[in-house]
């Protein structure tokens, strides 16, 4: 019995050492290679922003497909997806006209999905609110015929900036609906950014088929503060807005998929992915070019370090996360239709800063089983695996009852870039992104080997 225990202890220690060595190799390769960063540079600087329906998106589909084919993966293919096609149009105008302060131009952009104002634009008095309750309390008599300015400030006291974002995102999502119910002509929304800067942040907004559609704009946080200041001194401000945004008919896009086939359980699939589409103001580097390249890099790290996964490792570049999430929905639909056996899914869509942990959307038992691997990642700065959200592209996989995960980088500056012209390649640090690639690869390696 004692001899058996010694043998068992030796085998466990050897396995742990073997796994630690494999993870060290993954990190060494990630941190000494420039391949992924150069791939991101090409995607963002040569191809650029990738709005659904744009030529840049199709260029990105071809690029990432060829990238994975050149890696010598076992399988590379496309999944056809119907995607929306919204066009921003000409540069938007938003200016304040005051009898006291003259004319002030505001940094602005149309919210994603907004209808246009028409070529003449809209000129009207503006009224400021900080909540839907305040809007409703003012009532139709006060709102009708005016432009509504939603100016609830994202709370900077939250350590997690996603919490601050979540508390104010309703203004962008439903602001045009609620204002239109009371007769507003258009809405202006403070950018959903805890920081103060001159970058207006776009993002998808919603309409209700039972309510008249009105144009919706975002202004930078600095411009929102300026507009608030002007309103204090002049309650009769006039605002002129103009945009030529429009919706075209739906078109076709493609989820881009590459696979390393598993050696022992090839029918079991581990998915790692990001979304290939982006908003059009910047280059879509942080959101989510980096997540896509990290996912491809995971497979490259496996191949380069000699790791052959037991289960099929699949990298997915999802379509249309920013608008209707049609790529994630189609992926899940086809997975069910084809009776695929999914084992785990992980999305990278929270930026490319220093990774600090992982969130898991699943059962307590799944969390406990995976959390036991945390000690392998602690030396590399990963200090938590905890319950949380996994990412919008994975939500269609809920019926598979698998752990769905997301890498969690430090998000202190994420919303400085998110959905804005500031989302550029130069704002992605190579080492930080590669720490993310390595962390994902290391986690998936150890889960694939040890199970849950």
| Strand residues in 243-370 grouped as ranges (E) | 246-260, 265-275, 311-318, 341-347, 355-361
- Burial code of 139-151, b = ≥16 C-beta within 10 A, e = fewer? eeeebeebbbbbb
Q: Tell me the two tokens of residue 4.
A: 């058996």
- Residue 351 region by backbone torsions, left for phi larger than 0, else alpha for psi between -120 and 50, else beta: left
- What gap in Å lies between CA 289 and CA 47, rounded to an integer? 11
- What gap in Å lies between CA 304 and CA 307, rounded to an integer? 8
Three-state DSSP state, 2: helix
Beta strand pairing call for 186-190 and 147-150: parallel
Q: Which of 178, 259, 321, 322 is the catalytic position?
A: 321
- What gap in Å lies between CA 391 and CA 409, rounded to an integer? 14
**Active site includes 321?**
yes
133 exposure class (CB count in 10 Å sphere: 0-12, 13-18, 19+) = exposed
Cβ-contact 318, 382 below 8 angstroms? no
Residues belonging to the active site? 321
């Amino acid at each position: 019995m004692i001899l058996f225990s010694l043998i068992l202890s030796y085998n466990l220690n050897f396995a742990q050492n073997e796994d630690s060595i494999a993870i060290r190799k993954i990190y060494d390769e990630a941190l000494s290679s420039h391949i992924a960063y150069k791939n991101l540079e090409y995607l963002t600087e040569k191809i650029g922003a990738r709005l659904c329906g744009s030529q840049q998106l199709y260029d990105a589909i071809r690029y990432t497909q060829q990238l994975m084919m050149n890696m010598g993966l076992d399988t590379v293919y496309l999944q056809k997806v119907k995607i929306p096609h919204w066009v921003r149009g000409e540069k938007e105008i938003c200016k304040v006209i005051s009898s006291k302060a003259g004319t002030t131009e505001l940094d602005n952009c149309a919210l994603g999905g907004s209808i246009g104002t028409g070529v003449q634009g809209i000129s009207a008095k503006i009224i400021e609110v900080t909540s839907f309750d305040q809007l409703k309390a003012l009532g139709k008599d006060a709102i009708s015929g005016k432009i509504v300015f939603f100016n609830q400030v994202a709370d900077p006291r939250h350590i997690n900036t996603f919490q601050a974002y979540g508390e104010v995102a309703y203004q962008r999502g439903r602001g045009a609906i609620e204002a239109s119910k009371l007769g507003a002509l258009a809405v202006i929304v403070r950018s959903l950014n805890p920081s103060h800067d001159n970058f207006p942040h776009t993002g998808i907004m919603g309409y209700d088929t039972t309510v008249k559609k009105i144009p919706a704009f975002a202004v930078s946080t600095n411009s929102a503060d300026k507009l608030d200041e002007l309103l204090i001194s002049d309650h009769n401000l006039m605002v002129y807005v103009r945009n030529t945004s429009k919706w075209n008919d739906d078109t076709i896009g493609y989820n881009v998929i590459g696979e390393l086939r598993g050696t022992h359980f090839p029918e079991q699939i581990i998915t790692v992915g990001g979304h290939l589409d982006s908003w059009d103001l910047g280059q879509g580097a942080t959101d989510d070019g980096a997540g896509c390249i990290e996912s491809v890099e995971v497979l490259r790290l496996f191949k380069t370090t000699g790791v052959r996964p037991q289960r099929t490792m699949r990298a997915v570049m999802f379509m249309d996360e920013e608008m209707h999430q049609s790529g994630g929905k189609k992926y899940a639909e086809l997975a069910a239709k084809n009776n695929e056996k999914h084992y785990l899914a992980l999305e990278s869509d929270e930026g490319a800063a220093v990774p600090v942990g992982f969130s898991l959307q699943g059962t307590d038992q799944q969390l406990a089983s995976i959390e036991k691997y945390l000690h392998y990642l602690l030396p590399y700065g990963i200090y938590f695996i905890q319950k949380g959200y996994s990412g919008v592209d994975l939500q269609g996989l809920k019926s598979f009852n698998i752990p769905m995960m997301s890498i969690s980088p430090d998000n202190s500056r994420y919303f400085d870039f998110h959905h804005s012209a500031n989302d550029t390649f130069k704002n992605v640090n190579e080492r930080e992104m590669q720490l993310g690639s390595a962390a994902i690869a290391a986690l998936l390696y150890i889960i694939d080997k040890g199970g849950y």
